[in-house]
């Protein structure tokens, strides 16, 4: 049991998240292409890209300092640590002792902070623009994310994601808590903003004045770029996992049995696939909103999460 | 049986929260058509709630109000508003005296006041459907707020409709609705009111070449 929980579970989680992340993004791209009557790249295209990029050497600007070289590793490792803090297949979390959901929020912030620093580091005009926009979006998205996760924590009585998942699994009536609906809606908007999907940012363009995330990583190449791309894929999958496993934890294995993990993996794939298709439908039906309209959308998310936490306090 | 009641009241609470969300959408949306869709969505949820309440309470005349509100508020009034928008060919953008973010925050404050002020009543009420009274008060007040701050006549109509929804929901959730004849009267009031206001919107557009109600203060020959 201790061997299983100490060694096998962390490795399993890293393999699942890091291995599946490019597939999920490739799946989203493929479905979206099919819906637009294009053939689209293969589902596995992002794996080919990663392998190709990892074999290439990186070109670094002469003015860049050590921050530029450290950034890909900091971003990637912070995402990897989050992988170990989130319940993926089992409600048991590998590094339960190290931290809770607050640490997760700060680790996301750490990776983003270094990305923004590195975008300023090379002195490219696009980089600084992308960085300042990313900061503007995240400054408004972060409070909404915190408040909506705290609502779940209050309802479950713990800030530890593993405990939240197991509490939600055991007491099904808590799922009918109306405050959690508001928190769910707020977190869904925040996830769209944090991962730079279409109403906020366009992930498919590189040369447009409206880009946010792509503008920041324009200077990276070769293996550095591979690490950053991989980290952003994993961020999308991790945020979806947090959404799915805290609000809809059905099918997550409470223990560590082999059959339980297999069943949990199958249910997990179905849930992630469902939300990926939801993202595709959202991207198909909305145009990218103007930059100065973004506070409007994120303000809605903030108001929803604030109402979630207040109505939970006032009514229950 | 007790478990059944808990599930029912939880379901109605969740629907109430969905109505609250659609009201926030009315404040936060910047497109007129999306606001009308939000209104249709909220009316649909309201009809659903009244159907559920009719089913649980066993009072038959609520079924009639459910049916009428489904036809009137989900189909006819939104359809009529879309018709007006297409007819007067206005810019599909909501204009407000204060910025979106500020009006979102103010309506958030209004909702908090609604929750806070109904606290003392809810202590003596039954423990079920605890979100209904605060949410209905919140929808009424936010509708009032939208009526005050929006510039265009169409959005002011939407605010009035939100107020009516809130009052209907309050009556429904606290005392299983008003007597049938009163309900029918209110429905026809709303229908005739919306149609008259729609005609007014058209006339304002004809006369002033805009439906911004600010220009109504200007004197013309």
Nearest to B135 by CA among B38, B14, B5: B14
Among A residues 295-314, those touching chain B with beta carbons less than 8 Å apart: 295-297, 299-300, 303-304, 306-307, 310-311, 314
Distance from the Cα of A73 to chain B's closest Cα (Å) equals 37
Give the side-chain half-sphere CA count within 13 A for A187.
26
Cβ-defined contact of A300 to B108 (cutoff 8 Å): no
Judge contact between A112 and A196, C-beta under 8 A: no
> How do the domains of chain B map onto residue ranges?
2-217
| Residue extents of the structural domains in chain A | 2-315
State how far residue A176 is from chain B, nearest Cα, in angstroms: 6
CB contact under 8 A, B28 and A314: no
Instruction: Answer whether A287 touches B (CB < 8 Å).
Output: no
- Interchain pair B28, A315: CB under 8 A: no
B69/B44 Cα distance (integer angstroms): 8
Show pLDDT as tens, one digit a residue, over chain B (221 residues): 566 777 777 788 889 999 999 999 888 887 888 899 999 999 999 999 999 888 888 888 888 889 988 999 999 999 999 998 888 877 777 777 888 889 999 999 999 999 888 887 776 666 567 788 899 999 999 999 999 988 888 888 899 999 999 999 998 888 877 888 888 888 888 888 888 888 888 888 777 777 777 777 766 65
CA distance A303 to chain B (A): 6
Shortest alpha-carbon distance between residue A250 and chain B (Å): 19
H/E stretch holding A262: helix A258-285
Nearest to B169 by CA among B20, B50, B24, B17: B50
B18, B21, B131 member nearest A315 (Cβ): B131
Per residue in A199-232, pLDDT tens?
888 777 766 666 788 888 888 988 999 999 999 9
Taking alpha carbons only, the member of A168, A142, A141, A170 closest to residue A153 is: A168
Candidates B18, B26, B108, partner chain A, best to mutate (most A CBs within 10 A)? B108
DSSP state of A4: I
Question: Between chain A and chain B, how many beta carbons pairs sit less than 8 Å apart?
Answer: 71
* Calpha distance A25→A132 (Å, rounded): 25
| Residue B14: both structure tokens together | 């969740």
């Amino acid at each position: 049991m201790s061997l299983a929980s100490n060694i096998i579970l962390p490795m399993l989680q890293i393999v699942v998240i890091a291995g599946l992340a490019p597939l999920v993004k490739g799946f989203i791209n493929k479905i979206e292409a099919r819906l637009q009557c294009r053939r689209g790249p293969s589902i596995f295209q992002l794996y080919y890209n990663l392998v190709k990029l990892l074999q290439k050497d990186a070109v670094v600007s002469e003015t860049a300092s050590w921050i530029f070289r450290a950034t890909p590793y900091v971003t990637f490792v912070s995402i990897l640590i989050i992988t170990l803090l989130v319940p993926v297949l089992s409600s048991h979390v590998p590094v339960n002792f190290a931290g809770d959901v607050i640490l997760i929020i700060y680790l996301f912030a750490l990776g983003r902070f270094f990305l923004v620093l590195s975008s300023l580091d090379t002195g490219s005009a696009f980089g600084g623009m992308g960085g300042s926009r990313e900061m503007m979006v995240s400054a408004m998205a972060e409070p909404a994310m915190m408040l909506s996760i705290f609502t779940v924590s209050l309802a479950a009585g713990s800030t530890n994601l593993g405990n939240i998942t197991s509490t939600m699994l055991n007491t099904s009536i808590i799922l009918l808590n109306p405050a959690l609906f508001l928190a769910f809606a707020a977190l869904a908007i925040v996830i769209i903003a944090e991962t730079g999907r279409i109403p906020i940012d366009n992930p498919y363009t590189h040369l447009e004045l409206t880009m946010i995330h792509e503008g920041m990583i324009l200077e990276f190449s070769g293996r550095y770029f591979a690490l950053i791309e991989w980290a952003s894929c994993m961020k999308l999958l991790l945020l979806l996992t947090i959404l799915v496993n805290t609000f809809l934890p059905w099918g997550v294995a409470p223990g560590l049995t082999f059959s339980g993990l297999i069943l949990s993996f199958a249910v997990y794939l179905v849930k992630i696939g469902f939300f990926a298709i939801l993202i595709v439908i959202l991207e198909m039906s909305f145009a990218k909103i103007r930059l100065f309209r973004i506070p409007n959308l994120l303000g809605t998310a903030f108001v929803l999460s604030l109402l979630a936490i207040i109505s939970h306090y006032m009514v229950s | 049986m007790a478990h059944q009641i808990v599930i029912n009241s939880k379901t109605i609470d969740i629907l109430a929260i969905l109505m609250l969300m659609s009201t926030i959408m009315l404040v936060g949306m910047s497109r007129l058509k999306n606001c009308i869709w939000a209104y249709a969505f909220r009316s649909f949820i309201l009809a659903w709630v009244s159907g559920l309440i009719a089913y649980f309470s066993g009072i038959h005349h609520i079924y009639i109000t459910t049916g009428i509100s489904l036809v009137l508020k989900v189909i006819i009034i939104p359809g009529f508003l879309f018709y007006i928008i297409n007819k007067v060919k206005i810019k599909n953008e909501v204009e407000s005296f204060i910025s979106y973010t500020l009006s979102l925050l103010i309506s958030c404050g209004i909702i908090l006041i609604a929750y806070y002020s109904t606290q003392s009543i809810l202590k003596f009420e039954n423990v079920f459907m605890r979100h209904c009274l605060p949410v209905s008060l919140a929808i009424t007040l936010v509708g009032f707020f939208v009526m005050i701050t929006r510039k265009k006549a169409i959005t002011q109509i939407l605010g009035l409709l939100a107020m009516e929804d809130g009052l209907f929901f309050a009556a429904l959730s606290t005392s299983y609705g008003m007597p049938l004849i009163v309900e029918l009267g209110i429905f026809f009031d709303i229908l005739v009111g919306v149609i008259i206001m729609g005609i007014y919107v058209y006339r304002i557009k004809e006369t002033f070449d805009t439906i911004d109600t600010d220009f109504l203060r200007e004197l013309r020959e």
